[in-house]
């Protein structure tokens, strides 16, 4: 596992996503004014996590 800056990510890259100390594996997508983290699963209970680009992602 490596620490990669968000501007070096490409669509579809798998990332370990941390949201308030809850970790999961997501696929990264850059979509216009939003960053989308999609679950890499067919489980319909899992949802996309969407952030506006104007917030700081670390």
Centroid of chain to Cα 18: 9
Which one, of 12, 58, 54, 7, lies nearest residue 37 by Cα?
12
User: What's the pLDDT at 14?
Assistant: 92
User: What's the pLDDT at 4?
Assistant: 73
How many Å apart are CA 53 and CA 25, to the nearest integer?
20
CA dihedral 3→46→30→51, nearest 10 degrees, is -90
- What's the rounded mean pLDDT across residues 3-12? 83
Question: Using CB atoms within 10 A of its CB, is residue 37 exposed (0-12), middle (13-18) or buried (19+)?
Answer: buried
pLDDT, greater one: 57 or 2:
2
Tokens at 31, concatenated: 């979509």
Q: Model confidence over 16-39: pLDDT tens digits?
A: 877 788 888 899 999 889 999 999
pLDDT, greater one: 16 or 1:
16
Q: What percent of the chain has pLDDT over 70?
A: 91
């Amino acid at each position: 596992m490596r620490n990669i800056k968000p501007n070096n990510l490409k669509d579809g890259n798998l990332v370990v996503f941390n949201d308030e100390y809850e970790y999961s594996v997501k696929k990264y997508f850059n979509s216009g004014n939003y960053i989308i983290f999609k679950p890499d699963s067919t489980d319909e209970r899992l949802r996309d996590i969407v952030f506006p680009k104007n917030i700081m992602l670390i």
